[in-house]
Amino acid sequence: MHSYLRHYIDGQWVESEGGARHEVISPATEQPVSEVTLGTEADVDKAVQAARRAFESFSTTSKEERIALLQRIAEEYKARWSELARSISEEMGAPISMSSTAQVGAGLSHLQTGIEALKGFEFEEKVGPNLVLREPIGVVALITPWNWPLNQITAKVAPALAAGNTIILKPSEQTPGSAAIFAEAVHAAGVPNGVFNLVQGDGPGVGTALSKHPGIDMVSFTGSTRAGILVAKNAADTVKRVHQELGGKSANIVLPGTPLDKALKGAALRLLMNSGQSCIAPMRLLVHRSQYDEAVAYLRAFFEQAQVDEPLKEGNHIGPVVNRPQYDKIQGLIQKGIEEGAELLAGGPGRVEGRQEGYYVKPTLFAGVTNDMTIAREEIFGPVLGIMVYDSVDEAVRIANDTVYGLAAYVVGDPAQARDVVRKLRAGSVFVNAANLDPNIPFGGYKQSGNGREFGKFGLEEFTEIKGVIGDLPEGAVPDIPAEAAA
């Protein structure tokens, strides 16, 4: 069993002040795979003090110094590639073939994109005779989820450091290993003491302490909408900035006349990837009535052949979902779909055949889903796809937008028609045909899917404060302040 019992604070691995030991249960074996110490308010206080001390000097470093630091972090990250991949597979269940490519690869892409964004970023802008400055916000708390742990850690750490902030990272207690290994990489890269701090813990403990702490200037949170609301409420008393990427319920519109083979295979693979545990997973598939029967037949065969297997085995299968609560939630939603009249085409409730241990969920396909059903309203976060029918493109857009979420949407078909549809969808990211996430393009949600944007220069902007300097100042000059203005 792997042990991550210390926090990384002020450049050192330190014991927790009063923290409790917590075991991470393998989703494949239901046995402990690692252990971590859940931090306390005292640990958070210590990290905040270190970060505030470090901010005074780190905030004044040059762009070139921060570029060099991020480059060193990226190199140390690459040196730990296989270790990071195995940790993710063991703790949250992603198949090793995916962990060692998409999961770890996403983390590196954000580090590299952050470097390029910083190279081209302007921290000063002349507006007429005046000056607009972008400056670091201060001490930022980064609260990250378990489903794409390194993706979300690096999508926040890279721009936060690039902007000159100091950091306290609280990863999910479900995936502490990859965060601890990442902290080792940051330390080896020579980050100044106090600039990057890691406090392991859970939401009610460390997450709440960070959100409420008066020494924190900003919280960047990725997780469920329910948890995001609590973070915002806890942060309100200190009026700190709150940046959130929350839940989703993405629709995938297959435009009329689109060849279904590639469109449906892509839809199924996007949904099943990571066992459906992605905030942008296209859970609602909208097909025109003229192609509905053909789509049902194709997807039934695809889902019946979808494989489920162990995380540490190479292959194109999906692994288990992350833990028992998630497994139970998905099972309940599958049963709810049956009770509310959706047609079960493949999968269904219960254990995967031949597996009496592990949180494996059958790849499940429903047809006849309507937007008033629970499985069309709630974020399932599992390998469950619902097929919905529409009669006109305008109706498809209305169905897609009929949700409290607005993180992502998908459009498949004629690009000319897709261009019109894209502008009507209320979502922060719209993927057209085979497009994938681009770390240079802003990522974030409308409505209850959050606020603010991540990735590239857009993420860097989120970690800056804007200062207006009014007056034509020669370089190095300090103007006299009129008495009436000083008063």
CATH architecture, range 250-432:
3-Layer(aba) Sandwich (3.40)
Reply yes or no on whether the pLDDT at 474 is more than 90. no
Pairing mode, if any, of strands 343-346 and 364-367?
A: antiparallel
Where exactly does CATH 3.40.309.10 map onto the chain?
250-432
What is the percent of the chain where pLDDT is above 90? Answer: 95
Q: CB-hemisphere CA count at 13 Å for 333?
A: 26
Each residue of 344-359: pLDDT tens digit? 999 999 999 999 999 9
pLDDT, residue 6, reads: 98
3-state secondary structure of 298: helix
What is the percent of the chain where pLDDT is above 70? Answer: 97
Q: Catalytic site residues? A: 245, 279
Each residue of 24-44: pLDDT tens digit? 999 999 999 999 999 999 999
pLDDT, residue 479, reads: 47
Angle at which helices 292-305 and 260-272 cross, to 10°: 50
Measured CA to CA, the distance from residue 453 to residue 444 in angstroms comes to 5
Asked if 203 contacts 176 with a C-beta cutoff of 8 angstroms, the reply is no
Measured CA to CA, the distance from residue 462 to residue 263 in angstroms comes to 35
Reply yes or no on whether the pLDDT at 397 is more than 50. yes
Which 8-state DSSP code applies to residue 273? G
**Confidence band for 202, pLDDT divided at 50, 70 and 90:** very high
3-state secondary structure of 303: helix
Where exactly does CATH 3.40.605.10 map onto the chain?
2-246+449-469
Measured CA to CA, the distance from residue 104 to residue 337 in angstroms comes to 34
pLDDT, residue 434, reads: 84
Measured CA to CA, the distance from residue 352 to residue 120 in angstroms comes to 50
pLDDT, residue 483, reads: 45
Each residue of 72-126: pLDDT tens digit? 999 999 999 999 999 999 999 999 999 999 999 999 999 999 999 999 999 999 9
pLDDT, residue 332, reads: 98
Q: What mean pLDDT comes out for the span 204-233? A: 97
**Confidence band for 476, pLDDT divided at 50, 70 and 90:** low
What's the CATH number of domain 2-246+449-469, 3.40.50.970, 3.40.605.10, 3.40.50.1480, 3.20.20.20? 3.40.605.10
**Confidence band for 478, pLDDT divided at 50, 70 and 90:** very low
Each residue of 139-194: pLDDT tens digit? 999 999 999 999 999 999 999 999 999 999 999 999 999 999 999 999 999 999 99
Each residue of 167-176: pLDDT tens digit? 999 999 999 9
Q: Give this prediction's pTM.
A: 0.95
Burial class (CB in 10 A: 0-12, 13-18, 19+), 158: buried
